[in-house]
Structure 1
Amino acid sequence: MNRFFSYKNSIPAFAIGIAMAVSGLMSCTKVLDKPDLGAIPSGEVWTDLNLSTAFLNNIYLNVLPNWPDATYHVSDEGSGGGDVLFGQLTVNSINYWPYADIRSINLLLQQVPAAPFTESDKNTLVGQALFLRAWLYFQMVSRYGGVPIILTPQNLEDNLNVSRNKTSECIAQIVKDLDNAVALLPTSWNADNAGRITRGAALAFKGRVLLHYASEQFNPTQDPSRWQTAYNANKAAMDSLTKYGNALMPDFRNLWFVEGIGNTEAIMVTRFSYPGRPQTHDASIRPLEESQNYTGGDQPSLELVNAFPMKNGLPVTTPGSGYNSQAYWLNRDPRFATTVVHNGDAWALSGKTGRIQWTFSGGEAIGGTFSGFYTRKTVFEGYKPFDAEHSGTDWIEIRLAEVMLNYAETANETGNVQTGYDMITAIRKRAGIDAGTDGHYGLKANMSKEEMRAAILTERRLELAFEGKRDQDLRRRRLYASVLNGKKRTGLDIRLIKFGGKAGDFFAAYATGTINLNTDYFSYFSETPKLLDPNNVINYKDEYYFYAIPQDHLQKNPNLQQTKGWDGGTFDPLQ
């Protein structure tokens, strides 16, 4: 049986929410005997393990990342990113200030050590909370640099006019929380608790944090000691994860649809389910004719399409790669077909065997793709439109392939180019790229550190496309100016040039089986590059590497300094 369906028949309690969790715990009592769930005395929460766990579950629901916003990618993967990419931010544009959730975490960390629970139960509660606090602080630090470090639950009578801590102090606290979490968390959970944070997730996230801190956003002078620290952390993550059974899933296309403990690649997951807690991302990236109420997200750019190499691993621009411009989809890296849907591609949405996706102008009954492409990645084809709008597909925030690439990058920056080869070739082997006679899967032999750095970033772009990582990579390595500024992203304007441009007549002829698009595509269609940014040139400003603190927070707290580079800014985020 497809594990996607069998696993969803049992929804873990912690994925539903605190009210349902608490009511489930009280199911053995009479309905009329239930207390007001909004008025449970705080003393009861910290003396009842089930209530304490429900309190933690609610923090999970508030804190864990969701599917990336399908219309807000600040990169060259597709359109979107508006104000950020076009240099139109104001001081109030980026507002992420989750101190209410941090207070809840601090309250749990304050109360649980004295609770009448077993040491094992205390450890797992505290370990999870420490990870979630580290998660929230890093989300802020990656946006603003240093922020106020609050480690106890503040009350109204406390001095709330706290100052920003140095970025280095924040990173140190994040790492400390993660190290403490690692010591307390289990290596795995049972199926009923799938999705909870594990020791491996804490190690992997620590590796990501330190990779960012070593990169140019935080480390413009490239202090080598930071890269060494990041390497040590990512090696430790790799060693632990592989020791306890984590491995690349054999099927890149379907790894998103194997959920729970059966997915050996998923490290950190946000659980979704229907009924209970569905997500709409699945609907948002499907064509409107196979969706409802959502569409238009994650439409690949021509730049991303052209970035995928051939099945032999060679870039399409390399002489002798085998690239066929008259049928550009043939013999490509298999991840191309898994990620991108092109005009005339087979796409069995809603379980429709033999369904073909047309993206030419006038080829879709309703709506259409602006870029000329759709994204196949993460889309479960068996969903009907209603199911897509109420999807239960989990979001994988960290998977082993990312950890491998983090490890490769930090190893390369510390002089170990071979680890870069080892990690990329393993990932390319799983993808289905040919090994070649040299076993390098299309990679150039004897690469320098600089060449390997570029190869790793390219591999990240392909392997992690539409997983919310491309903009992070451009940001942490300060690549916007050299990669995107001054450019406009493009797609394809595809036109039917036969049958008088009448789509119905073309479809009728295609149904006879006499049209072979692999050999005669451009006999029927013209493709012209079109601008996805017709009115704007990309202009990512240098001050965007550390955003402004919104005025609302500055007005409430006069001790907060604005970030340098913004009006009145005095806080140095590089300290």
Structure 2
Amino acid sequence: MKNKLWFLLVGIVWMTTSCQDLIDPAIENIQGREDMLERPRLAQGLLINAYLRIPTNGWSFSEMATDDAVSNEPSNGFLNMATGQWASNNNPVAQWTGAQSAIQYLNVMLEDVDSVDFAADPIVNEMFVDRLKGESYGLRALFMYYLLQAHGGMADGQLLGVPILAESQNVESEFNLPRNTFEECMAQLYADAERALDLLPMDLGNITDPYLIPSKYADQGAETGQYNRVFGDDAIQLVSGRIVRAVMAQAALLAASPAFNPNGDVQKWQAAADHAASILNTIGGVSGLAPNGVTWFTNTDELNSLGGGVNPAEILWRTSIGPSNNLETDNYPPTLFGNGLINPTQNFVDAFPMANGYPVNSPESGYDPQNPYAGRDPRLNHFVVVNGSTAGPNNSVITTAADGGTNDALNRVETSTRTGYYLRKLLRQDVNLNPNSTNQQVHVKPRIRYTEIFLIYAEAANEAYGPTGTGAAGYSAYDVIKAIRQRAGIGLENGDPYLESVKSDQAAMRQLIRNERRLELSFEGFRFWDLRRWDADLTETAEGIYIEEGEHEVTDVENRVYSDYMIYGPVPYSETLKFSELKQNTGW
């Protein structure tokens, strides 16, 4: 009887519902491009999808694949990569799929945005269309930069980039496209950036002065309320003109670097310096260097008061802020209930000069290898937990010596350090991981810091004009590096004689600038890419410090296994299998 009733019910449903609806989702649940034209939130969702794919939304810590750090986790992708397992079908730093997906969303937006009604007010609607276009062009330039950084390289003797996708793809599109040259890709990046700059203000945020409204809107009678609705405080942290200029500086530095500029074209260095200066000049040049920029990650009062899209003086662009303790959980030493994941190397520690400015291997430095942390660059203590450091909310002493009595000791347990060092940079020391009293604290994730822009300028200006040449900006590489080192506490008592000794030597200044970049931008995802664009040695063995009975001995920890061709990353193997027109970079 129950079976008969069940079949009767099914029969009634079948008669009142089409067969198609029983098998497929109802048509109103499927959103297509045509729906976007009537539903502005769907259109904005295309941009959100692109924003979510920005690689710097989270930390990657590719430093663990360089001479700056190792991982204590045997299965870590960067550990495997650095020890010989990097391949075109095993690439933890690939950007191909994510960036191209973002560009597809952006292309759809650019093709359809003019047909979407974002506001009943025609002036406001025009502003929305312009802003969304500007964001799309700016983001498309950003993703091109990441594609070139990760996949640009030499193939058959030619420097190639990626296929340029300036239109959205559909089922009828030609997918088997060759890679454009690196220069063509850079031209596309610059063209997109210029389009963005034409549409976006330098900075987003509310205005009160109607004279600040761009003439194209003011001539139509736009008022500040209309402008603020689109370009005001609610839009802060979206792509602005300032951010686009920063992307241009990043990309220009990549294009000027030895791996991508094998002929040493000085004009490319000049372009990188000019792009960086166009941003730095808006904050007063060298005088705009944030005084507390070294400790941006642990300036607790500043971080705790952030809100409403506001940036600290050091940060040009950031992700959203929020309380967490993930970084501390991953990287605190074991006695602070952390996993000690990232272990800075002795190589990295040796890169910090003495407080008098001299490198540790200089006869004038006063460095004592048996008392190696005395008299050092103050940044060492900000960035690295060394043997005897205090750390955590209770200023606990961390003993990393091999004969230490806790699990913080060298190689004591699986979460112990492998190098004799733990990471301090990025971590807030007021986070408590004790299971009985765990807390969280506000963290900020920068996408771009002003210190990066200063260092781009210094590197490019040194190559273009020499250490003390100023170009059009009016300040030199020497001026920038002097300000950065003074901020760090270097040479304050003796006038930094080491810096003075290299200011007339371009090659020596180059090495100093690279070292300052290594320190200032450490553990923010730069070292891996910097070594490659510099065509530098990738195989320097990662070293540690073995301390027993007070004696210090430098030891080898992990070999670095890279071939010369690996200054360029691979095109994904799966893509070369699918598309015969895609050339693989040499060696892969």
490, 493, 501: which one pairs with 1:433?
490
| Distance (whole Å) between structure 1 residues aligned to residue 103 and residue 541 of structure 2 | 40
1:284 alignment counterpart: 330
Give yes or no for the alignment of 1:462 onto 2:519: yes
Deviations 1:120-164 (A, max 9, x none): 222222222222222222222122221111111111122222221
Aligned length: 489
Instruction: Tell me if the contact between 2:63 and 2:523 (Cα under 8 Å) persists in the aligned partners.
Output: no
Instruction: Letter of the 1:360 partner, please give it.
Output: A
Identify the match of residue 303 of structure 1 among 334, 344, 347. 347
C-alpha deviations, 1:156-213, integer Å up to 9, x for none?
A: 1222222211111111111111222223233334465443222222111211111111
In 2, Cα distance between equivalents of 1:185 and 1:126: 9
| Cα distance between partner residues in 1 of 2:44 and 2:285 | 29
Verify: 1:148 aligned to 2:170, yes or no.
Answer: no
- The corresponding residue for 1:377 is 425
Q: CA deviation at 1:108?
A: 1.0
| CA displacement at 1:223 relative to structure 2 | 1.8
Is contact 2:317–2:446 with CA below 8 Å preserved after alignment? yes
Inter-partner Cα distance in structure 1 for 2:133 and 2:327: 32
| Counterpart in the other structure of 1:450 | 507
- Whether 1:528 aligns to 2:553 is yes
Contact in 2 for aligned 1:143/1:545 (Cα 8 Å): no
Give structure 1 stretches of 5+ with no counterpart: 1-34, 498-524, 567-575
User: Which of 197, 201, 209 matches 2:239?
Assistant: 197
Q: Secondary structure at the match of 1:343?
A: coil
SS in structure 2 at match of 1:378: coil
- Please tell me whether the aligned partners of residues 46 and 111 of structure 1 are also in contact (alpha carbons under 8 angstroms): yes
After TM superposition, list the pairs within 5 Å mapping 1:285-364 onto structure 2: 285-291=331-337, 295-347=339-391, 349=392, 351-352=393-394, 354-361=395-402, 362-364=404-406
Q: Aligned match of 1:158 in 145, 150, 173?
A: 173
Which residues in structure 2 correspond to 1:221-260 (within 5 Å)? 221-242=263-284, 247-250=289-292, 252-255=294-297, 257=299, 258=303, 259=306, 260=309
Q: Where does residue 96 of structure 1 map in the other structure?
A: 95
The answer as to whether partners of 1:246 and 1:265 remain within 8 angstroms in 2 is no
SS in 2 for 1:398: strand
User: Does residue 126 of structure 2 align to residue 125 of structure 1?
Assistant: no
- Cα contact 1:71–1:298 (8 A) shared by 2: no
Say whether the 8 Å CA contact 1:494–1:528 is kept in structure 2: yes
RMSD: 3.0
* Cα distance, 1:104 vs structure 2: 0.8
Stretch deviating more after TM superposition (279-288 or 389-398): 389-398
Q: 1:189 to 1:37 in 2, by over 3 A?
A: farther
Aligned to 1:471: 528
Deviates more, 1:59-68 or 1:161-170: 59-68
In 2, Cα distance between the equivalents of 1:337 and 1:406?
25
Q: Which amino acid is the alignment partner of residue 399 of structure 1?
A: R
The Cα of 1:491 is off from its aligned counterpart by 0.6
1:69-84 matched pairs, under 5 angstroms: 69-70=60-61, 73-79=64-70, 81-84=78-81
Listed one character per residue, the Cα deviations across residues 521-557 of structure 1 (whole Å, up to 9, x for unaligned) are xxxx333322211xx4x34212212233233112222
Partners of 1:182 and 1:199 within 8 A in 2: yes
Shift of 1:472: 1.6
* Structure 1 residue 110 corresponds to structure 2 residue 111: yes
Distance 2:106 2:132 in 1: 10
AA aligned to 1:114 is S
Contact 1:249–1:263, Cα closer than 8 Å, also in 2: no
- Is the Cα–Cα contact under 8 Å of residues 399 and 406 in structure 2 kept in the other structure? yes
Residue identity opposite 2:459 in structure 1: E
Asked whether the 8 Å contact 1:73–1:468 carries over to 2, the reply is no
Distance 1:388 1:206 in 2: 42
Percent identical residues: 29
Is contact 2:61-2:525 (8 Å) kept?
no
Partner of 2:143: 136
1:168 matches 2:183: yes
Unaligned runs of 5+ in 2: 1-25, 72-77, 119-124, 153-160, 206-232, 408-412, 469-475
* Aligned residue number for residue 491 of structure 1: 544
Amino acid at match of 1:358: T
Using the alignment, how far apart are the partners of 1:558 and 1:112 within structure 2?
A: 34
Describe the superposition over 1:84-142 as per-residue Cα deviations: whole angstroms up to 9, x where unpaired: 44444333223432322221111111111232242222222222222222222222212
Q: 1:53 aligns with which of 38, 41, 44?
A: 44
TM-score, length-normalised on structure 1? 0.78
Structure 2 SS opposite 1:532: strand
Whether contact under 8 Å (1:87, 1:539) holds in the other structure is yes
Which amino acid in structure 2 is aligned with residue 563 of structure 1? Answer: N
Equivalent residue in structure 2 for 1:543, among 554, 565, 587:
565
* 1:247 CA displacement: 4.1
Whether 1:183 aligns to 2:198 is yes
Residues 36 and 450 of structure 1: is their aligned pair in 2 closer, same or farther, counting only changes over 3 Å? farther
Q: Give the structure 1 partner of residue 212 of structure 2.
A: none
**Counterparts of 1:410 and 1:160, CA distance in 2:** 37
Q: Residue type of the partner of 1:231?
A: A
The offset of 1:382, in angstroms, is: 1.5
Following TM superposition, by how much is the alpha carbon of 1:441 offset from its aligned partner in structure 2, in angstroms? 7.6
Question: Does the Cα contact within 8 Å between 1:245 and 1:264 map onto a contact in 2?
Answer: no
2:192 and 2:250 map into 1 onto residues whose CA distance is 14
Corresponding letter in the other structure for 1:384: N
Inter-CA distance 546–434: structure 2 relative to 1 (3 Å threshold): closer
Counterpart of 2:461 in structure 1 is 411
Does the aligned pair in 1 maintain the 2:286–2:480 contact within 8 Å? no
Deviation digits for residues 65-101 of structure 1 (CA, Å, limit 9, x no counterpart)? 2443347633211125445444443332234323222
Deviates more, 1:546-555 or 1:44-53: 44-53
